[in-house]
Amino acid sequence: MPILTLTSEIGQSDFLVGAIKGNILSLNPTFTIVDISHSLTPFHYPEAAYIVKNAIPHFPIQSFHLVLVNLFQTPIKHLLVVQAGSQLIGIADNGLLSMIFDDQPYQVYAIDLPESKSINILTCVTIWIQIFNQLLTGSSLDEIATRYTDFKKNDITPPLIGSNYLEGHILYVDQFHNLIINITQKTFEQVRNGRKFKIVFKRDETIEQISKSYADVPDGEKLALFNTAGYLEIAIKNGKASHLFGLETYRAPSNMAISATSARMFYQMVRILFE
Write the burial class of residue 5 (CB in 10 Å: 0-12 exposed, 13-18 middle, 19+ buried).
buried
Give the model's pLDDT for residue 246.
65
pLDDT tens for each residue of 194-207: 999 999 987 778 99
Residue 99's pLDDT is 94
Integer angstrom CA distances of residue 179 from 14, 53, 152: 29, 18, 29
Predicted TM-score (pTM) of the model is 0.86
Side chain identity, residue 23: N
Average pLDDT over residues 128-138: 97
Torsion region of 95: left, alpha or beta (phi above 0 gives left; psi -120 to 50 gives alpha)? left
C-alpha pair distances (Å), 211 with each of 158, 170, 192, 232, 235: 24, 19, 16, 11, 10
* pLDDT confidence band for 263 (50 / 70 / 90): very low
Domains and their CATH numbers in the chain: 3-147 (3.40.50.10790), 160-274 (2.40.30.90)
State the pLDDT confidence band at 214, using cuts at 50, 70 and 90. Answer: very high
